[in-house]
Amino acid sequence: MKRNHWTAALLSAAAAAGAAYFVAENRRVESPEIPVPLPGLPGGMEGLRIAHLSDLHFPHCARPPRELAALVRRLHPDLIVLTGDLIDRADTFSPAVLAETGRRLAAIAPCYAVPGNHEFRAGLVKEWTALLTGAGVRVLGEEWVRLTRRGGSLWLGGLPYGRPIPPPGEGNRLVLSHYPENFPAYAAKGYDLVLTGHAHGGQFRFGGRGLYSPGEGLFPRYTSGLYALGGSRMVVSRGLRSGWMPPRLGNPPHLPVVVLTGQRG
C-alpha cells in the first residue's frame, strides 16, 4: 500500500513539474538576432534592426500588450513588422487589445503590418486594418513603400494575399507575407528578403525540425529562422502564440530581430 502511495505521489510530482515546465516554455520568448546579408545594401541601411512579430493570436499571445511592447523596446528596433494572425477567431476578437498593441508598438519605431489567414477567416480584415491604422501602424496592401534612413533607402512591400507582386525599381526589396510556403514564388520575383510567419515553428520541434505546418503539412521545410534560395533570403518567425491547444513542444515563442548588413555572411 505504501508503495502505491509513493508511486502516486511521484507521478503527481512529475505531472506538476511537467505542467510547470510546459507553462514556462510557452511564456519564454526567444529573441535571436539574425544577420541577413543583402548585396548592394546602402550604407545608411547598414545594421537596420527589424523586430519581426507574427502569429500573436490574441488572446493567446505569450505576452499581453504592455509586456510585449516592453520586450520589443528592449530589442532596440529601428523598424517593427507584423506578419499576420494577430487575432485568433471572431468570437475572441478584442478591438481594444488590438488597438493597444498597435499603439504601444508604433510608439517604439515605425511599424508595418499585413494580415494573415486568421484575419481573413474571421472576416475582420477591414476592421483590423482600421484599428491598426488608427493606432499608428501602416497596414500594407499589395504595394511598395520607400523606407529611408541616413541617406539610404530600400523598398518594403506587402503581400496580404500571399501572391507575389511585380517588383519596383532599383534597390533592395523586402516583403511582408504570412505564407512561407510561397518562398519559391517570391524568390522567382527577385525579392531580396521575405519576412513570414504562419508555420508556428512546426508546432512540435525535434532536432531543429518542425513536425507540421498549415501551409506545408507534415515535416515542413520552412518553419523557423533564415532560409536562402538563389539570391533571395527569408526569415520565418515561429510566432508568439502560447497556450495548451495546440501545445508547443521544443518550440518556445519567437520574436526574431533581423539585422540587415551589406557584408556577405
Q: What pLDDT, in 10s, does the model give residues 47-73?
A: 999 999 999 999 999 999 999 999 999
pTM of the complete model: 0.91
Q: Give the residue from 79, 75, 218, 68 showing the smallest Cα distance to 148.
A: 79
The more confidently predicted of residues 170 and 31 is: 31
Q: Give the residue from 145, 170, 28, 163 showing the smallest Cα distance to 79.
A: 145
For residues 225 and 239, the answer to whether their CB atoms sit within 8 Å is no
Q: Give the confidence band of 161 by pLDDT, cuts at 50, 70, 90.
A: very high
Residue 109 has pLDDT above 80, yes or no: yes
C-alpha cell at 90: 471572431
Q: Give the confidence band of 76 by pLDDT, cuts at 50, 70, 90.
A: very high
Q: Give the confidence band of 247 by pLDDT, cuts at 50, 70, 90.
A: confident
Mean pLDDT of the chain: 92
Residue 20 has pLDDT above 60, yes or no: no
Mean pLDDT, rounded, for 112-117? 99
Predicted local confidence at residue 169, as pLDDT? 83
Q: Give the residue from 176, 215, 185 showing the smallest Cα distance to 86.
A: 176
Predicted local confidence at residue 14, as pLDDT? 39
d(CA 152, CA 219): 40
pLDDT digits (tens, 9 = 90+) for 32-44: 999 999 999 999 9
C-alpha cell at 159: 503581400
d(CA 149, CA 152): 5
- Calculate what percentage of the chain has a pLDDT beyond 70: 88
- Cβ neighbours, 10 Å, residue 245: 5
Residue 168 has pLDDT above 60, yes or no: yes
Q: Give the confidence band of 163 by pLDDT, cuts at 50, 70, 90.
A: very high
Mean pLDDT, rounded, for 116-129? 98
Predicted local confidence at residue 244, as pLDDT? 66
Q: Which long-range contacts (CB under 8 A, 24 or more apart) does 210-218 make?
A: 210/251, 213/180, 213/181, 214/117, 215/179, 215/180, 215/181, 216/181
d(CA 88, CA 119): 8
d(CA 212, CA 202): 5
Domains and CATH numbers, the chain: 2-261 (3.60.21.10)
d(CA 125, CA 92): 15
Predicted local confidence at residue 27, as pLDDT? 62
* The pairing of beta strand 205-206 with beta strand 209-210: antiparallel
Longest dimension (CA), the chain: 79
Residue 187: C-alpha distances to residues 146, 163, 165, 181, 192 (Å)? 20, 12, 12, 11, 8
**What is the residue type of 114?**
V
d(CA 173, CA 215): 24
Residue 92 has pLDDT above 60, yes or no: yes
E strands within the chain? Answer: 33-37, 49-53, 79-83, 111-114, 138-139, 144-149, 152-159, 173-177, 193-196, 205-206, 209-210, 212-213, 217-218, 225-229, 232-236, 257-261
Which residue do the cell numbers 511599424 mark? 111
